[in-house]
């Protein structure tokens, strides 16, 4: 009985034979979790689980949308570290290191679960949001979808 040469190949070698994945698939899972956790923490640390999951929905909606980068870190860091950028905490010149341990642990837990399985989109497809304490930051008319805590969401 002849043995197939494919069985003799180590599994690691088979990876090289597979088609190269898209950019979104090449983003390391831990990098995606960290980028998303930072966004949840800095954008919604005072909004609890629902507010953080709403921000996660916006980030993941953007990843899936053709007008935005196709990775979580690409979406979070879009625009670079100098204004204008998509998320003000990213380009405000201040440290991005979380300083409230309970909120950071919650953001990490929610980011990890959101990356592993897309959460229910409580924003109804939103791609944008802003805090109620500021005026609408863009000139173009957008469809308001929902308000969650102190954030208003739009598509």
Return the HEC string of the chain. CCCCHHHHCCHHHHHHHCCCCCHHHHCCHHHHHHHHHHHHHHHHCCCHHHHHHHHHHHHHHHHHCCCCCCCHHHHHCCCCCCCCCCCHHHHCCCCCCCCCHHHHHHHHHHHHHHHHCCCCCCCCCCCEEEECCCCCCCCCCCCEEEEECCEEEEC
In tens, the pLDDT along 110-142 reads 999 999 988 799 999 999 999 999 887 788 899
Domains along the chain?
27-120 (1.10.10.2520)
In tens, the pLDDT along 32-70 reads 999 999 999 999 999 999 999 999 999 999 999 999 999
């Amino acid at each position: 009985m002849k043995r197939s040469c494919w069985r003799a190949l180590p599994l690691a070698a088979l990876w090289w034979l597979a088609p190269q994945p898209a950019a979104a698939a090449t983003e390391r899972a831990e990098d995606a979790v960290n980028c998303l956790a930072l966004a949840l923490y800095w954008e919604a640390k005072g909004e609890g689980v629902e507010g953080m999951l709403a921000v996660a929905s916006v980030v993941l909606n953007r990843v899936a949308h053709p007008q935005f980068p196709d990775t979580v870190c690409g979406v979070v860091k879009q625009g670079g570290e100098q204004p204008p950028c998509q998320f003000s905490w990213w380009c405000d010149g201040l440290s991005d290191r979380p300083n409230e341990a309970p909120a950071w642990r919650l953001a990490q837990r929610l980011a990890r679960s959101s990356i592993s399985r897309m959460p229910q989109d409580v924003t109804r497809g939103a791609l944008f949001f802003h805090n109620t304490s500021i005026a609408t930051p863009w000139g173009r008319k957008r469809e308001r979808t929902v308000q969650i805590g102190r954030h208003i969401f739009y598509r």
